[in-house]
Amino acid sequence: MSAVLSCSNLSVSFGSFAALSDVTLNFEDGATTALIGPNGAGKTTFLNALAGLQRVSSGTIRLDGSDITVLSAHRRARMGMARSFQIVTVFPQMTVLENVQVARMRAHMKVAVPWRTLASFPAVEREARAALERFGLADVADVPAGTLSHGRQRALELAIVLVNAPRVLLLDEPLAGVGRAELDHFADLVREVSARQTTILVEHNMDVLMTLARDIVVLVGGQVLARGGPEAIQADPKVREAYLGA
Ligand code: ADP
Take atom 27 of ligand 1 and give the residue whose Cα is closest: 14
Give 49 Cα–ligand 1 centroid separation in angstroms: 12
Give 40 Cα–ligand 1 centroid separation in angstroms: 5
Q: Residue 231: phi, psi to the nearest 5?
A: -65, -45
Q: What is the pLDDT of residue 113?
A: 63
With 0.80 as the threshold, say if the pTM is over it. Answer: yes
Give 12 Cα–ligand 1 centroid separation in angstroms: 10
Establish whether residue 39 lines the binding site of ligand 1, counting it when its CB lies within 6 angstroms of any ligand atom: yes
Q: Contacts for 27-31 with beta carbons within 8 Å, 24 or more apart?
A: 27/3, 27/168, 27/198, 27/200, 28/1, 28/2, 28/3, 28/4, 28/198, 29/1, 29/2, 29/3, 29/4, 29/198, 30/1, 30/197, 30/198, 31/1, 31/198, 31/199, 31/214, 31/215
Atom of ligand 1 nearest to the CA of 54: 23
Q: What are the DSSP calls for 205-233, one per residue?
A: -HHHHHHH-SEEEEEETTEEEEEE-HHHH
| Cβ neighbours of 95 (radius 10 Å) | 18
Q: What is the pLDDT of residue 107?
A: 67
Q: What is the pLDDT of residue 13?
A: 97
Establish whether residue 40 lines the binding site of ligand 1, counting it when its CB lies within 6 angstroms of any ligand atom: yes
Atom of ligand 1 nearest to the CA of 20: 10
Q: 13 - beta bridge partners?
A: 18
Establish whether residue 97 lines the binding site of ligand 1, counting it when its CB lies within 6 angstroms of any ligand atom: no
Q: What is the pLDDT of residue 193?
A: 87
**Whose CA is closest to 37, among 231, 201, 232?**
201
Q: What is the pLDDT of residue 106?
A: 74
Establish whether residue 14 lines the binding site of ligand 1, counting it when its CB lies within 6 angstroms of any ligand atom: yes
Take atom 18 of ligand 1 and give the residue whose Cα is closest: 19
Give 227 Cα–ligand 1 centroid separation in angstroms: 21
Q: ipTM of the assembly?
A: 0.97
**Whose CA is closest to 66, among 1, 11, 3?**
3
Residue 179's contacts (CB-CB under 8 Å, 6 or more residues apart) are: 150, 151
Residue 117's contacts (CB-CB under 8 Å, 6 or more residues apart) are: none
Strand order in the sheet with 198-202: 81-84, 168-172, 198-202, 32-36, 215-220, 223-228
Q: What is the pLDDT of residue 48?
A: 95
Fill in the DSSP letter of residue 30. T
Q: What is the pLDDT of residue 33?
A: 97
Per-residue pLDDT of the chain (246 residues; tens, 9 = 90+): 578 999 999 999 999 999 999 999 999 999 999 999 999 999 999 999 999 999 999 999 999 999 999 999 888 988 999 887 666 678 899 999 999 998 888 766 655 666 667 667 788 899 999 999 999 999 999 999 999 988 888 889 889 888 888 999 999 888 888 888 888 888 888 888 898 899 999 988 888 888 899 999 999 999 999 999 999 998 999 998 887 554
Give 41 Cα–ligand 1 centroid separation in angstroms: 8
